[in-house]
Structure formats: C-alpha cells, structure tokens
Structure 1
Amino acid sequence: MAVSVNLAKKLDKDYEDKLLKDILDAPVDALAGLTPRHAEALAALLGIKTIRDLGSNKYFATAGVLVALERHEG
C-alpha cells in the first residue's frame, strides 16, 4: 500500500524531496523551526543528533502518546 504525506511545511527546503530514511538520518535542525542551536542543545542534553533519535527518544515518545490520548478522552 502506497502512502503519501506532504511534509513541505514541516521540513527545511533541502529535505522536502528526500527519502524517508534520509530524513530520519538528518540532523534535527532539518525540521522546520529548529535551528542549529536547538540541535546543539538536544545533542548536549539528551544525546539526540538525528530526527530518528528525536522521534524514538523515550521522553518525547511518551509525551506524544499522552497528547494523542488526550484527544480521545471523552
């Protein structure tokens, strides 16, 4: 099954047409809105160097799940 996602506003221009693997291996400042300074802080504080590291970090993953769960509270 093919899946298409428009990430144009979520990534820096240099990464908009890259393969998913290349995006995940990119530095976190490839995400629109994050700067090299943010990337340095994440690397220094949490060892996060790539988008893959950020997305699989247990703290960020837990926070993402909690936010998603809140949307489904009745």
Structure 2
Amino acid sequence: MAGLASKLDKAFEELPLEELVNAPVASLQGVSDADAEHLKAAFGIVTVGDLGTNKFFLWAQSIVALAK
C-alpha cells in the first residue's frame, strides 16, 4: 500500500485495502463531500469500490489505453 497514503484523507491512510474499498469516495484526496454527492446523484457512486468499478469510468480508461 506504499504510496497510497498520499492519495487519501488522513483518517483513511491506515485502512487495509479490504476496508478502503468500502470507504466513502470522499476519503480520496481532492474529492469533497459535495463532489461525492454529485458522483452519487449522477452515477450511483458512494464508495471507493463503486468508483473503481463504474462502467463509464472503465470504458473511458479502456478508450484512453487503446488510443495510446
């Protein structure tokens, strides 16, 4: 988990990955509570796991990777 701490809010830096998947998306550095509400309203994203497995985000990542 080295290097992930800088990507998380302080309160979530020590969580094991198995718990971090269920942490609120606002636990990520730079994602505010307001941003989290917008993600929830637009895409049903509530947790870090939801964000990481969202089909639209995955499709966009695939397009970017294939375009390289």
Secondary structure at the residue paired with 1:9? helix
CA distance in 2: counterparts of 1:18 and 1:68, whole angstroms: 30
Counterpart of 1:17 in structure 2 is: 14
Aligned length: 68
CA distance in 2: counterparts of 1:67 and 1:9, whole angstroms: 25
TM-score (norm 2): 0.87
TM-score (norm 1): 0.81
Deviant stretches of 4+, over 3 Å: none
1:66 paired with 2:63, answer yes
Map Cα deviations across residues 32-71 of structure 1 (whole Å, 9 max, x no partner).
000000111111111110010011000001112223334x
RMSD over equivalenced CA pairs, Å? 1.3
Could you list the runs of 5+ residues in structure 2 that have no partner in the other structure? none
Percent identity between matched residues is 44
